[in-house]
Structure 1
Amino acid sequence: MTERGRSGTRTIPSLWTAVDRRRVVLASLLAAGHQGGEALVPVVIGIVIDRAVADHSVTGLLVWLLILAVVFAGLSTCYRFAARVAEGTAEWAAHRLRTAVAAKGVDGTGRLSGELVAVATGDAQRVGAVNSALPFGIAALAGLLVAAVSLLRMSVPLGLLVLLGTPPLLWLAHLIGRPLERRSQVEQDRAAHASAVAVDLVSGLRVLKGLGAEAAAVARYRRTSRASLRATLRAARAEAGHDGAILALTGAFIALVALVGGKLALDGHLTIGELVAAVGLAQFLLTPFQIFAWVNGQLAQGRASAARIADVLQDAPAKPTESTMDLPDRGLLGIVTTDPHDLLTALEQHPGVLLAPHDADLFTGTVADNVGGDVERAMAAAAVDVPADAVLAEGGKSLSGGQRQRVALARALAAEAPVLALHEPTTAVDPVTEARIAAGIAEHRRGRATILITTSPALLAVTDRVVFGNLAATHDELLRHNENYRAAVLS
């Protein structure tokens, strides 16, 4: 799947499109060397017992011990480089997904910033981890094949038992992983929502204090956090049940292999060395099945996280609707949007609109020189607390951020434009001053058209109506009836 944004066409990843096949194949080959070597260890030990110890051959013993040392050196080297390639691939895959989610955030989405952070971190990491899990799952399968072939050479019944018993065991493991996948997705959804609320609570602390809404916001986060905790506990129980069930299945299977091997040895169908090798291989089988359980859990969580990332990347870009582009004849219109870029661009190019950004530059000279027009009236409306004859340094650097913002707002008001658009004019002032400025703007612009592009509840409270997506209503109505609007404003 693909989507088109300002940055061009991008592929929306599924779990498998997020896999770096070339590097995963390389890591799988290296990891298979490790697991194959692990499977050969008990086989070599059995040969040592049959050909060297039983025959009292010192030379044979030394040769086979040397072979055993080479096997150990090979398997340890393979594991080292397999882990390096697999982990590096996982981190790069997670990085690419984080970049894609971040780019989507730049294009615009209706989601809260905290949720995007959770998706770009936790979900991206889980999907990326599939790149490190797959090589070891493939290697475990290779180890099983080596063990099965070795058992076939010693005993056809033992080899067939492993070869024919493994596929249904893997299918059962897949079925057991289904509840874990479902609960993992719910867990990530709840965790992302809790993260979103926490981030927006911290970032919106100034607004909350101004409204006296700290207690309500904390209570909201407490409810969200508890819901996330319950989902996490359910997912943890599902994971524990999954691991326990897989362990029970593999334990029963390995016990069956050991029993069959013991019976064959008692009947004289296996030598002492072959019996030792068969028991060692039965014990070795525990490792591949443990790897299968781990990989199955990683895949279940990865599928859930991949679905969440795909949902984010398929969100329609947050663009201004036709209703937001209708210029008001008079009065104050509030516009709440998570991505004002396109709207600001359209207003800036509109011949009948004066757009005042919140980060406008000041020039060297007095405050009055920067404001112009009816200086006193404009400064009063913008709550400027700097004398009109104060001389400013270059760029207004002699003022605080809030003072610079208020002088710039006074300049925009003094222009007396028929249609004035203000973008977040109070981000650097305290809540009390923000309330004074909101009242000042409403009074100063009475009878003329003013557009306030903001999420400030103090500014939105003085507007005649607010546009939020495809909705247009008063600020109070949207607060009462629209949860998404409340979340956007309180953040």
Structure 2
Amino acid sequence: MGAEGPRTRDVLGQAVGGQRRDVCTGAVLGAGHQLGEALVPVLIGVVIDQAVAKSDTGALVRWLAVLGVVYVGLSFSFRYGARAGERAAEQAAHLLRVAVVRRVLAPGGGAESGRLPGALANIATEDAKRVGAVNMAVMAGISALAGLAVSAVALLVISVPLGLMVLLGTPVLLLLGHLLSKPLEHRSEAEQERAAHASGIAADLVAGLRVLKGIGAQGAAVQRYRRTSRDSLAATLRAASAQAWQSGVVLALTGGFIALVALVGGRLAVEGDITLGQLVSAVGLALFLIGPLEVLAWVNAELAQGRASAGRIAEVLAAPLDVAAGERRLADPVRGGLRLRGVSLGGLREVDLTVAPGELLGVASTDPAAAEALLRCLGRTEDPESGSVELDGVPLTDLDPAELRTAVLVAAHDADLFDGTLRENVGAGGDPGRAMAAAAADEVARTLPLGEAAEVGEGGRSLSGGQRQRVALARALHADRTILVVHDPTTAVDAVTETRIADGVREFRSGRTTVLVTNSPSLLAVTDRVVLLDAGRIAADGPHTGLLRDDAAYRTAVLA
């Protein structure tokens, strides 16, 4: 791998090299199968010359027994060789899927930039499968070349001109097959790109289906997906056309080559240069050659598609991190003090802010972009353009994002739920009862037939918006981080429940640093103090009640 990250050939090399044992085993057994297949017409020719032509029953029985042993050997070689090849293909695809998912989930981020989630899923599944299949193609290609070599040697023994024809003609056919696969490689890459984009659009539309129905935009959404799907279909048809054209031309060239070998063999038999049995063997070998040559044409197509998919995987694996890992460790123990020094990012402008360990701080904002930027800074999904954020005096840029998130949890407003039970979504470790009560998620459990064991469905689709928010907040509380940053956790709940949640959060998080980024009066009322972000800067700082009384901008932001 280069310093800039893995390239296409690196991905292919690792996919095949990592499975070299199975690939070598499959290639050896596949070569044994091809050897047996090539020996069959040779042995039939021997039977004709040694037994049939001489009316020797004993020789006939002996050679038929040899032929039977060859058939048994080639059958078992094919079975176990194919098994090794399939195992190599599936294992390589699995490892690639793990590598892609690991990169996507890397604490430093960056892999998802410019890509829809559905596109990443397509790369992790379809592209990984195609690259894994290169193992099978390599094994089959080696086996086919072995079959061609055995056939060439047998034909040289029968007749030097026939053997030379195969030895000289096969490389030409392979070169033509490789050249013809180039258009397929380019079209396959375009096909996968369009298919991934269509998958991403579909996932995006399904995720926002309720919103689309609410604003009556189903028609526009359908039209958008229809256009994307048509583009994907057109790319697929172009790739299929290229593959059919390549396969058809290679098959025609192969057929012409085989016919030429049979024609030369027939002329040699007529002229008495070879026996009848040798002619039968030569014709049989010529027919046998169709198989390896077709396999090699298929191998070229598979390699072309594998290279295109490997390139897409390499792009994800080589995507630069949004934030780099530092070398310093968290303080032991983590006290939970936060400090922003002149932080500018997105909607933030030179923000200076100190959060004392154990403080419950409210952050109200007149601009949602400023609130989002603050969340990105505190969770270190993005580093400030200028200034610094410190945890217990250590700049976040000096810490590993993975280690930082063992102490700091940023619970986004649009947090997702997952397919599973209510309890599993809150958290499997420990007893989530206190956290659920603090977030009023225990009421959600009581409304469900199976309580905490009820299935919530993918994305929590069986729950209402307010119920999903409460479960997501319970999950954030149950994670029990030293520092918790929560963004608008109660926008979809009623006022009574919101008041209960505010009191529950304050009690649950007592003594631990908590930042509530919200304009909700109920939540801000339970904080130790509130800061107001206006035009990206700290415009006010004080108790909620005092700011309501004395600051017009704060009243407008919170009560409007």
Task: Give the structure-2-normalised TM-score.
Answer: 0.65
2:12 is matched by which residue type in structure 1?
A: L
Q: CA deviation at 1:206?
A: 2.6
Q: Give yes or no for the alignment of 1:176 onto 2:240.
A: no
Separation in 2, partners of 1:429, 1:74: 72
Separation in 2, partners of 1:163, 1:211: 69
**Which residue of 2 is the match for residue 17 of structure 1?**
14
CA RMSD of aligned residues (A): 4.2
**Structure 1: 5+ residue stretches without partners:** 372-391, 413-419, 434-439, 452-462, 466-491
**Which residue of 2 is the match for residue 309 of structure 1?**
313
Distance 1:13 1:198, change over 3 A: farther
Separation in 1, partners of 2:285, 2:200: 50
Q: Deviations over 1:428-455 (max 9, x none)?
A: 779xx9xxxxxx955747996568xxxx
Distance 1:237 1:164, change over 3 A: same
**Which residue of 1 is the match for residue 129 of structure 2?**
125
Q: CA deviation at 1:16?
A: 2.2
2:183 is matched by which residue type in structure 1?
A: P
Distance 1:394 1:114, change over 3 A: closer
SS at match of 1:185: helix
**Which residue of 1 is the match for residue 487 of structure 2?**
423
- The structure with more helix, counted as a fraction of residues: 1
2:380 is matched by which residue type in structure 1?
A: D
**Which residue of 1 is the match for residue 553 of structure 2?**
none
Q: CA deviation at 1:61?
A: 0.4
Separation in 1, partners of 2:116, 2:170: 46
Asked if the contact 1:421/1:450 (under 8 Å) is kept, the reply is no
Separation in 1, partners of 2:409, 2:33: 69
Distance 1:182 1:405, change over 3 A: closer
**Identical pairs, percent:** 53
Asked if the contact 1:331/1:449 (under 8 Å) is kept, the reply is no
Alignment of 1:192-231 (within 5 A): 192-231=196-235
**Which residue of 2 is the match for residue 323 of structure 1?**
345
Q: Give yes or no for the alignment of 1:335 onto 2:372.
A: yes
Runs of 4+ in structure 1 over 4 Å off: 2-5, 9-13, 324-330, 336-341, 344-351, 353-367, 392-401, 406-409, 426-430, 440-451
1:15 is matched by which residue type in structure 2?
A: L
Distance 1:350 1:404, change over 3 A: farther
Asked if the contact 1:141/1:288 (under 8 Å) is kept, the reply is yes
Q: CA deviation at 1:319?
A: 3.7
Task: Give the structure-1-normalised TM-score.
Answer: 0.73
**Which residue of 2 is the match for residue 489 of structure 1?**
none
Distance 1:428 1:179, change over 3 A: farther
Q: Deviations over 1:43-101 (max 9, x none)?
A: 00000000001111111000000000011000000000000000011000000000011
Separation in 1, partners of 2:217, 2:392: 38
**Range that drifts further, 396-405 or 238-247:** 396-405
**Range that drifts further, 77-86 or 392-401:** 392-401
Alignment of 1:29-48 (within 5 A): 29-48=28-47
Q: Deviations over 1:205-228 (max 9, x none)?
A: 233334433322222111111100
SS at match of 1:16: helix
Distance 1:365 1:167, change over 3 A: closer
Q: CA deviation at 1:347?
A: 7.7
**Structure 2: 5+ residue stretches without partners:** 325-342, 353-364, 394-407, 416-425, 449-462, 477-483, 498-516, 537-560
2:285 is matched by which residue type in structure 1?
A: L
Q: CA deviation at 1:134?
A: 1.0
